[in-house]
A = this chain, B = another copy of it.
Amino acid sequence: MKTLLLLAATLLLVALSVLCHMTVPSAGLNFMAACLAIIPLAGWMGRATEEIAVKVGPRLGGLLSATFGNAVEIIIGCFALSQGLTTLVKASITGSILGNLLFVLGLSFLVGGLKHPVQRFNIRVAHSQTAMLMLGIPIMFLLPVIFSVSRYHSLLVMTGAVCSVSFLVYILGLVFSLYTHRQLLGDLEEERNEDIEDPGRIKNSNLLFVNLPVSLLILLIVTVLVGVESDFLVHSVEHLASHAGWSQMFLGVIVVAIIGNAAEHASAVWMAWKNRMDLSLEIAVGSSLQVAMFVAPVLYFFSIIVGHPMFFQFSVPELVSLTAAILLVAILMVDGESNWLEGAMAVGAYAVMAIGFYILH
Contacts and interface: CB of A to CB of B under 8 A. Distances in A.
- The main secondary structure of chain A at its interface with chain B is helix
A161 B345 contact: no
A12 to B, nearest CB: 38
B327 A148 contact: no
Given A320-B142, A353-B143, A345 B181 contact: no
A36 B103 CA distance: 48
A258 to B, nearest CB: 20
A351 B139 CA distance: 11
Interface stretch (A42-50, A65-73, A125-133): A125-133
Contacts of A161: 351-352, 355-356
Interface in A135-156: 135, 138-140, 142-143, 146-148, 153-154
A117 B154 CA distance: 38
Given A135-B328, A176-B340, A331-B131, A320 B157 contact: no
B352 A320 contact: no
Contacts of A356: 143, 146-148, 158, 161
A360 interface: yes
A173 B341 contact: yes
A162 B134 CA distance: 25
B328 A147 contact: no
Interface residue range, chain A: 35 or more
Nearest to A136: B345
B317 A131 contact: no
A184 interface: yes
Interface stretch (A85-93, A164-172, A187-195, A214-222): A164-172
A135 B345 contact: yes
Given A161-B355, A341-B128, A352-B143, A184 B328 contact: no
B117 A339 contact: no
A284 interface: no
Interface of A: 117-118, 123-124, 127-128, 130-132, 134-135, 138-140, 142-143, 146-148, 153-154, 157-158, 161-162, 165, 168-169, 172-173, 176, 180-181, 184, 316-317, 320-321, 324, 327-328, 330-332, 334-335, 337, 339-342, 344-346, 348-349, 351-353, 355-357, 359-360
Q: Which 6 A-B pairs have the closest CB atoms?
A: A147-B356, A176-B341, A135-B345, A165-B348, A161-B355, A134-B331
22 contacts: A117-B180, A124-B337, A127-B331, A128-B341, A131-B328, A131-B345, A135-B349, A139-B349, A140-B352, A142-B320, A142-B324, A143-B320, A146-B356, A147-B356, A147-B360, A148-B359, A154-B359, A154-B360, A158-B355, A165-B351, A169-B341, A176-B340
Given A146-B320, A172-B344, A181-B339, 20 more contacts: A118-B184, A131-B328, A131-B345, A135-B328, A138-B324, A140-B352, A142-B320, A142-B324, A146-B356, A147-B317, A147-B357, A153-B359, A158-B352, A161-B352, A161-B355, A162-B352, A165-B348, A165-B349, A176-B341, A327-B327
